[in-house]
Structure 1
Amino acid sequence: MSTLDTLSPALEALRDIEHQAADQGLPFHGQVPPKLAWALVEAGDARLVDVRTAEERKFVGHVPDSLHVPWATGTALTRNPRFARELEAKVGKDSTVLLLCRSGKRSALAAEAAAKAGFTHVFNVLEGFEGEIDTDQHRGGSDGWRYRGLPWVQD
Structure 2
Amino acid sequence: MRAFLIALAVGLFALNAQAVDPASVPKIKISKLGLYLEARDVPAFLKAHAPRVLFVDVRTIEELLFVGVPDGLDGQASFGIMHYDKWDEKKDTFPRNPNPDFLSQFELWTLDKGIEKSDPIVLICRSGDRSALSADLLARHGYTNVWSVVDGFEGDLAKDGPNKGQRVVNGWKNAGLPWSYKLDKNKITLSK
With structure 1 as the length reference, what TM-score do the two structures score? 0.80
In the superposition, relative to structure 1, how do residues 154 and 118 fare at CA in structure 2: closer, same or farther (>3 Å)?
A: same
Deviation at 1:79, TM superposition (A): 0.6
Report what 1:96 is aligned to: 120
Q: How far 1:16 sits from its partner (Å)?
A: 6.2
Structure 1: gaps of 5 or more residues: 1-5
What is the match of residue 154 of structure 1?
181
Q: Secondary structure at the match of 1:70?
A: coil
Q: Does 1:52 find its partner at 2:33?
A: no
Structure 1 segment 3-152 matched on structure 2, within 5 A: 8-10=11-13, 12-13=15-16, 26-43=31-48, 44=50, 46-66=53-73, 67-75=75-83, 76-91=95-110, 92=115, 93-135=117-159, 136-139=164-167, 141-152=168-179
Aligned 8 A contact 2:18 2:36 in 1: no
**AA matched with 1:143:** N
Q: Distance in 2 between matches of 1:100 and 1:9?
A: 23
The amino acid of 1:48's aligned partner reads: F
SS in 2 for 1:8: helix
If you compute each CA radius of gyration, which structure gives the higher value, 1 or 2? 2
After TM superposition, give the deviation of residue 104 of structure 1 in Å. 0.3
Distance 1:31 1:87 in 2: 19
Give yes or no for contact 2:38–2:149 (8 Å, CA) kept in 1: yes
RMSD: 2.7
Deviations 1:87-110 (A, max 9, x none): 222124233110000000111111
Range with bigger deviation, 69-78 or 102-111? 69-78
Deviation beyond 6 Å, 4+ runs, structure 1: 14-17
- Contact 2:38–2:171 (Cα < 8 Å) also in 1: no
Aligned amino acid, residue 98 of structure 2: R
- Structure 2 gaps of 5+ residues are 1-7, 23-29, 84-94, 183-192
Q: Deviations over 1:37-81 (max 9, x none)?
A: 111224425321100000000100011241101101225322112
Question: When the two structures are aligned, how many residues end up with a matched partner?
Answer: 146
Residues 10/50 of structure 1: CA separation in 2 closer, same or farther (3 Å cut): farther
